[in-house]
Amino acid sequence: MEALQSLMQGFAILLTFDKLSLMVIGILAGILVGVLPGLGGPNGVAILLPLTFGMDPTSAIVFLSCIYWGALFGGAITSILFNIPGEAWSVATTFDGHPMAQNGQAAEALTAAFTASFFGSLVAVLLITFLAPSIASFALKFGPPEFFAVYFLTFCTFVGLGKEPKHKVIVALVVGLLFGGIGMDTVSGELRMTFGFVELLKGVDFLVAVIGLFGISEILLTIEQKLAFHGKEARIRLSTVWRTWLSLPRYWATLLRSSAIGCWLGVTPGGAIAASFMSYNVAKQFSKNKDSFGKGQIEGVLAPETAAHAAGTAALLPMLALGIPGSGTAAVLLGGLLVWGLQPGPLLFVEHKEFVWGLIASMYLGNLVGLVIVLATVPLFAAVLRVPFTIIAPMIIAFCAIGAYAVENSLFDVWVMLVFGIVGYVFKKLDYPLAPMTLALVLGDRAEDAFRQTMVGSYGDVTVLFKSPLSGTIMLIGLLLLFWGPLASGASRLFGRGRPASEPRPVE
């Protein structure tokens, strides 16, 4: 009851003309940031952070958090329309979102993505509102073993639950881990696979690799197949939005399950990227239409978008309650709080109650305003598909190059993007999945750091991963999913043999 009263006070603080105006401006800026490959939520918030130094803390955090919500919404736009993830967590959205757009269902895919994003964020905000103290104490239990267990579980979902051949999934994971190992070893300081290029000391930037793997490779395949976007199929009406909404209740289990995965990985924190991939694979495993995944299944859009937004929102909880940022954007916001003279932690809820509840109220209202804005522009986004391919292809290539260059303002990254474009093209031609590769590329170095820190702390004792109840449980679940196929088939044969066959009645 106290939480509801505090929340109402937060809405009273927020519902003023200047703060609502900042909210709309922030969401529009965030959508632009999310659409542009290479920028992303953390970079967008960091770039615009100096604009808030003259504001009061509540107005500043509302503006910056709305940039974040807008970026979360905007990342799905280019993923669905052009197969170019605007955000790192939007990679899983491309698997079914882009096929839906190619099938003339761009409006349905965008509407589903935006609505799922809102639902996931709403569940996470409710979690923050009512369970902040207990969830914050749970997040303190995560150390290197628990972090490695979460990454291990994410990898195992791809191998065990994926429909692709297991050997191809493993090869893709190994290639992704190999690319993820490029650069300076964070433990020993040694250089690995830099081949004399100073630019590779920092490793391969994930966004640059993703732009090449999905954007450039898609253009190469389309040019080879002489395909084009079909304008007639892209013409939609706002009635499509309502029709899509009416179909969403049948996927309530997917939405709730993905929200739970996202909140868990956001608070722990495992991250929105891991949440989106894990949720996609879990949704595929539980779906009645497993074979349609990757061909334009709406569940393949709902699951990753719901989980990514739930994780991105839930990541703010440990930042506020403990001063531990759960994501890159949360880290930037943490820096902003310190600049404004606010110290994140348990005392923040007591000493600056109006600020905290104003921020939580902005999460509710900001996501609602963001949903209205992006849904109102669905016809505009879908109309892009009516542009002839001969015109749009050079624009997409230039778009990708600008996005890759903007990551580090480096021309070298543009060449890296082209290399990964060729790699993605080869993988698609040989029918190797790109999802496991991109997952290993982004989480490989984190998993390695967590594992090596665990080994250093335990003096090389691998069993420490199973000694903690939390990490041990996660590791056992990962192993179960890794060998799910053989275990399931073995169990079916075992129980099948146990049933005595019914004997035919003799004919008289």
Check whether 113 has a pLDDT greater than 70: yes
Identify the three-state secondary structure at position 181.
Answer: coil
pLDDT, residue 230, reads 43
CA distance 134 to 132: 6
Domain ranges of the chain: 2-484
Give mean pLDDT, residues 220-226.
Answer: 71
Give mean pLDDT, residues 456-477.
Answer: 84
Instruction: For residue 325, give every residue at least 6 positions away whose Cβ sits within 8 Å of its Cβ, in sequence order, or none.
Output: 315, 318, 319, 331, 333, 334
How far are the Cα atoms of 131, 262, 298 from residue 117, in angstroms, in the given order? 21, 11, 14
Look at residues 164, 167, 170, 117 and name the one whose alpha carbon lies nearest to residue 281.
Answer: 164
Cis preceding linkage at 506, omega within 30: no
* Unique residue bearing structure tokens 């963001």: 370
CA distance 379 to 429: 33
Confidence band of 110 (pLDDT split at 50, 70, 90):
confident
Q: Compute the Cα dihedral for 337, 338, 339, 342 and give only its sign.
A: positive
Q: Compute the Cα dihedral for 191, 196, 199, 205 and give only its sign.
A: negative
**pLDDT tens for residues 274-314?**
788 888 888 888 888 777 787 888 888 999 989 888 888 88
Check whether 498 has a pLDDT greater than 50: no
Structure tokens at 235: 């013409």
How far are the Cα atoms of 153, 316, 439 from residue 147, in angstroms, in the given order? 10, 18, 15
Confidence band of 382 (pLDDT split at 50, 70, 90):
low
User: What is the end-to-end Cα distance of the chain in Å, rounded?
Assistant: 76
Residue 490, judged by CB atoms within 10 A of its CB (0-12, 13-18, 19+), counts as: exposed
Question: In whole numbers, what is the pLDDT of the chain averaged over residues?
Answer: 76
Identify the three-state secondary structure at position 20.
Answer: helix
